[in-house]
Amino acid sequence: MTINEKIESDKIVLEVEGKVDRLTTQQLQDAILLALQKMRQLEIDFGGVNYISSAGLRALLMGQKTAQSKQGRMYLTKVTEPVKEIFNITGFSSFLEIQ
């Protein structure tokens, strides 16, 4: 999994690519929390992700909670079908902001 961070004027965009599993989750979690420290608005580009494990979901949960506690915003874009399915099964689609 690779994460590419782009800083724009009003938000940070994290372009994630690969498998978000138990081996790579910590990396994603660190990237999300660091980005939210820098800016209140965070966009996560999930276009290159086709699998996310429950540990990965936990990283997104922490990110969403952190964004809310800071009156910020975290949202996902370009979510692929398999990942959308996982979000649906786990009920995360009712909690995460997915565009």
Partner 1 sequence: MKKRGLDLKLSLMIVIFTGVLSIILTVASMVEHSNKVDEYYGENASKLALSFANMTDGDFIRELRELVDEPEFQAIREKALETNDWTPMENLLEERGLLEEYNEETDMLKSFKKDMDVEYLYIHSIEGDISVYLMSATEGMSALGLIGANAEEFAEYTTNMHIDPTVSDMDGIWVCSAYEPIYDSNNEAVSTVGVDIDMNQVMADRNHFRNRMAIYCIIFVLMAALCGIYVIRKLVVKPIESLTDGAKDFTDEESGYCSESVLNLDIHSHDEIETLYTEMRTMQEKILDYLDNITKITAEKEKISAELNVATEIQASMLPRIFPAFPNRDEIKLFASMAPALEVGGDFYDYFFIDYYHLALVIADVSGKGVPAALFMAISKTLIKDRAQDCLDPATILSNTNNHLAEANDANLFVTVWLGILDLRNGELKYSDAGHEYPILARQNGEIELVKPINKKMPVAAIEGVQYVTNTMQLNVGDTIFLYTDGVPEATNASDELYGMERLEEFMKTHYSLDVEELLPAVRKNVDEFVGDAPQFDDLTMLALRIVSFAEEKGEKTDGE
| Chain residues in the site for partner 1 (CB under 8 A) | 21-22, 51, 53-55, 57-58, 61-62, 65, 88-95
Least CB distance to partner 1 at residue 22 (A): 7
Instruction: Identify which of 72, 75, 70 has the alpha carbon closest to the alpha carbon of residue 95.
Output: 75
Residue number with CB closer to partner 1 (80 or 93)? 93
Do β-strands 2-7 and 12-20 pair in parallel, antiparallel, or remain unpaired?
A: antiparallel
Residue number with CB closer to partner 1 (4 or 54)? 54
Contact status, residue 22 vs residue 55, Cβ threshold 8 Å: yes
